[in-house]
Amino acid sequence: MGHIIGIDLGTTNSVCAFMDRTEPRIIINEEGGRVTPSVVGFTKTGERFVGDIAKRQMLINPDATIHSIKRFMGRRYRDARSDLALVNYTITEAANGDCAVAINGRTFSPQEVCAMILQKLRKSAEDFLGETVTEAVITVPAYFTDRQRQATRDAGTIAGLDVLRIINEPTAAALSYVHDRKKASTIAVYDWGGGTFDISLLSVDRDVAEVRATRGNNTLGGADIDRRIVDWLLERFRDEHGIDVSDDKIVMQRLRDSAERAKLELSSAPSTEIHLPFLVSDSSGPKHLQCSLTRATFESLAEPLFQQTLAECRNALEEARLDVGDIDEIIMVGGSSRIPRVQEMVRELFGRPLNKTFNPDEVVAIGAAIQGGILEGEVKAVTLLDVTNFSLGIETQGRRFEPLIPKNTTIPTQKTQLVSTVVDNQRTVKIHVLQGESPDSRENVSLGEFELQNIQPAPRGVPRIQVRFAIDASGIVNVSAEDLRTGISDEITIDAPTGLSKVELERAREEAQVAAEHDESAREIKGLRNMVEKELVTLESFLRENRGLLPKTDIFELEQALKRGRMALLKASDKRNLDALLRYLQRFHQHLREKMESQARMH
C-alpha cells in the first residue's frame, strides 16, 4: 500500500509530510525546498507554474499570479468583497454565487486553483517516495465552515487525491505534540498564518487528544498585517508627492512585497529601510519612496490585529472554562507567530514561556502525516476528539436560526429533526441549513437549501419526515431524510445546491489530469531541449579543441551536424523529434570519440 501523505494547505505556503515507519518526515519538493509557496502563476501562452517559480513572477505579472487563494475557498462572492483588496488578480462571482478567479479570459473556481497546488505537492511526494500517491489527510483552519471544508475536499478530488480526513490545523499541531511527548497536559495552540488565525485549547493524554475549545478568524492573517504597512506607505507617499497610487496594480504589488519583507526583517531587527525607486513618474519626473520603519511604529500599526488574536484566546479560555493558569504548554504555529511582539503578548497573557521546540512552519503537516499514519495503522492510535466550531441549525419562520448541534460538540455527531408539510399533498419541503451563532439566520453562513423531494401525497401535517444532520470526523455536514410513515429513506431525494456539483467536479478533475499530463510533457520537452543544448555545446568545444587533429572531412561533417542541430533545436518542439536529434548527436559524438581513440592508438 502506498503512503498516505499529510498536507498543510496554507494560505501562503504549503507543506507535505509522510510517516517513515513510525517517524514523520517532511517531503522535499522538486526545487529542494521543505515549504512550497501556495502560488500559481499563468503565462500569456497558457503555461502555468506552481510554487517558487510562480512566486518569482508575482512582481512582474501580478494580475496573472494567484496567491492567498485559500481566502476565497468555499466563500460566497458577496461575503468575500472586503478581501478583494488583498490580491491583485481578479475575483469574480461564479454562476452559483461563489468566488471565481478570472485569468487570461478563463475562469477557475478556487477549488481548481487549490488543486493545482495539491497536484504539485502530490507530484513532489511521488518523486520523493518513488511511488504513486493517491491518499491524503489535509488540514484546514479550525474555523473553516462546512462549505470551506467541502471545497478543500473537492480540491483534493480534482487533484486526483482521495482525501481520507480533513483535520483542523491546531489539532494537527497537538497530534505532533502527543506523538513527541506522550505527557498528560492542557495545551494551547496559537496558530497565526498568512490568512487565518486559530486558537485551540486541548487536553492531551498518552493516547487521547481532546479539543476543549477553538476560536478563530478566517480573515485575519499575515496578509492583513502587510496591508497595514501598505496603507502606511501609501499615506507617506501621498504626503510627500501628493499622488495616490492605490489603483496601480504593479505599484501595489511592489508595496505589498516590500511591506512583507519589512515585516519579516522587523522580527529580528529594530528597524528597516524601505526603498522603492521609480515607483511612479509624472510630468515632473520619477518618484521614489524611501523611508525607514521602526519596530515600534510597526507594532503600533499592527497592534489592533495582535489584540484581536488575544481577545480570541480569552474567549477560548472562557468557552473551555479554563483559567490561564491551567495551560501547561503554549505551542506557536504559523509564520505570523514569529513576530516578537506577538510572542511577548501571548507569553504575558498565559504567564508562562512559550514552547519553541516545534517548527511553526512544519508542525501542522507533521500532525497531518501522523493522522495518516493512524489511519494506515502504522502509528498507535491516538483518539482525536475534535469539536465543531460553529452551531449547525436550520432557518425557521421570520428568518430565525434554530441551532440543532451547538458549537463545541465533539465530532462525529448527529441530530434528527422531524418535519412535515403545511399544505395538502405537498410533495417537497425546503430546509435551509446554516452554520453560525447569530439568532438572525441572515447573519450566519448558508450551507444551502436542502430540498426534500418525492414526499408521498398526504393531508398537511400527516407526513412525518425525519431529517438527520450529521457532522463527520472531517467536520463535514451530511443531511439525510427518512419518511417515518413508510420507513423508506431513498424515496426522498435531497437536492443540496452548494459548491461544485458532481458533474462540475468530475469535469474539473478530468481537466486537471489533462493539464498535469500537458505540464509533465512540457517538462520532459524542456529536459530534452536542455540535453540537446548540452550535447551541442560539448560538440562545439570538442571541435574547438581538436580542430588541428581532425581530418578536413570530419571537421566539415561535424560543422554540418552542429548547424543541423542548432537549426533543428530552433524548430523541434515535440518529444519524438527532439529525442531523434539527441540520439543523432550522441551517436555522432561517440563516432568521433572512437575515431580519435583509434588514431591515438595508431600513433
Active-site annotation holds for 191: yes
d(C-alpha 101, C-alpha 86), whole Å? 14
Bond before 412 cis per omega within 30 degrees = yes
* 168: CB partners within 8 A, 6+ apart: 139, 140, 141, 142, 144, 198, 200, 211, 214, 386, 389, 475
Determine which residue in the list 9, 11, 55, 508 makes contact with ligand AMP, applying CB under 6 A: 11
Give 256 or 432: the residue with its C-beta nearer to ligand AMP: 256
CB of 330 to ligand AMP, least distance (A): 17
Q: How far apart are the first and last CA of the chain?
A: 61
Active-site annotation holds for 20: no
C-alpha closest to that of 49 among 34, 32, 67: 67
Binding span for ligand AMP by CB under 6 A among 6-14, 53-61, 85-93, 229-237: 6-14
CB of 193 to ligand AMP, least distance (A): 3
Query: DSSP code of 103?
Result: E
Q: Could you give the 3-state DSSP secondary structure of residue 342?
A: helix
Binding span for ligand AMP by CB under 6 A among 279-287, 333-341, 406-414, 496-504: 333-341
Give 12 or 176: the residue with its C-beta nearer to ligand AMP: 12
Catalytic residue among 83, 146, 169, 210: 169
Give 225 or 572: the residue with its C-beta nearer to ligand AMP: 225
**95-124: which residues touch ligand AMP (CB under 6 A)?**
none
DSSP 557-595: HHHHHHHHHHHHHHH--SHHHHHHHHHHHHHHHHHHHHH
Catalytic residue among 112, 135, 191, 482: 191
Catalytic residue among 55, 70, 120, 407: 70
Give 338 or 589: the residue with its C-beta nearer to ligand AMP: 338
Determine which residue in the list 222, 448, 475, 499 makes contact with ligand AMP, applying CB under 6 A: 222
CB of 334 to ligand AMP, least distance (A): 4
d(C-alpha 457, C-alpha 461), whole Å? 11
CB of 145 to ligand AMP, least distance (A): 19
CA angle 226, 229, 232 (to 5 degrees): 155
Give 264 or 531: the residue with its C-beta nearer to ligand AMP: 264
Q: Could you give the 3-state DSSP secondary structure of residue 140?
A: strand
Alpha helices in 137-199 (DSSP H): 146-158, 169-181
481: amino acid identity, one letter: A
Q: Does 335 bind ligand AMP (CB under 6 A)?
A: yes
Determine which residue in the list 216, 334, 372, 436 makes contact with ligand AMP, applying CB under 6 A: 334
Beta bridge partners of 330: 188
Give 99 or 173: the residue with its C-beta nearer to ligand AMP: 173
CB of 335 to ligand AMP, least distance (A): 2
Binding span for ligand AMP by CB under 6 A among 261-269, 280-288, 457-465, 470-478: 261-269
**22-41: which residues touch ligand AMP (CB under 6 A)?**
none
Alpha helices in 413-548 (DSSP H): 502-546
Determine which residue in the list 28, 264, 404, 445 makes contact with ligand AMP, applying CB under 6 A: 264
**Is-contact 435 146, C-beta < 8 A?**
yes
Q: Does 267 bind ligand AMP (CB under 6 A)?
A: yes
Q: What is the per-residue burial (b if ≥16 Cβ within 10 Å, else e) of 315-349? A: ebbebbebeeebbbbbbbbbbbbbbebbbebbeeb
Determine which residue in the list 41, 141, 194, 216 makes contact with ligand AMP, applying CB under 6 A: 194
Give 11 or 446: the residue with its C-beta nearer to ligand AMP: 11
Give 10 or 436: the residue with its C-beta nearer to ligand AMP: 10
Binding span for ligand AMP by CB under 6 A among 91-99, 335-343, 473-481, 544-552: 335-343
Binding span for ligand AMP by CB under 6 A among 138-146, 199-207, 237-245, 328-336: 328-336
Give 3 or 70: the residue with its C-beta nearer to ligand AMP: 70
Binding span for ligand AMP by CB under 6 A among 42-50, 330-338, 349-357, 445-453: 330-338
Q: Given its phi and psi angles, is residue 102 left (phi above 0), alpha (psi -120 to 50 degrees) or beta?
A: beta
Binding span for ligand AMP by CB under 6 A among 208-216, 332-340, 536-544, 580-588: 332-340
**Is-contact 335 194, C-beta < 8 A?**
yes
CB of 229 to ligand AMP, least distance (A): 11
* 598: CB partners within 8 A, 6+ apart: none
**Is-contact 443 405, C-beta < 8 A?**
no
**Is-contact 274 262, C-beta < 8 A?**
yes
Alpha helices in 59-168 (DSSP H): 77-80, 110-129, 146-158
Q: Which three cell numbers stand for residue 419?
A: 418535519
Q: Does 74 bind ligand AMP (CB under 6 A)?
A: no
**Is-contact 33 45, C-beta < 8 A?**
no
Q: Does 170 bind ligand AMP (CB under 6 A)?
A: no
Active-site annotation holds for 482: no
**Is-contact 175 209, C-beta < 8 A?**
yes
Give 8 or 535: the residue with its C-beta nearer to ligand AMP: 8
Q: Does 13 bind ligand AMP (CB under 6 A)?
A: yes
Residues that are catalytic? 8, 70, 169, 191
Q: What residues line the site for ligand AMP (CB under 6 A)?
A: 10-13, 193-194, 222-223, 260, 263-264, 267, 334-336, 338-339
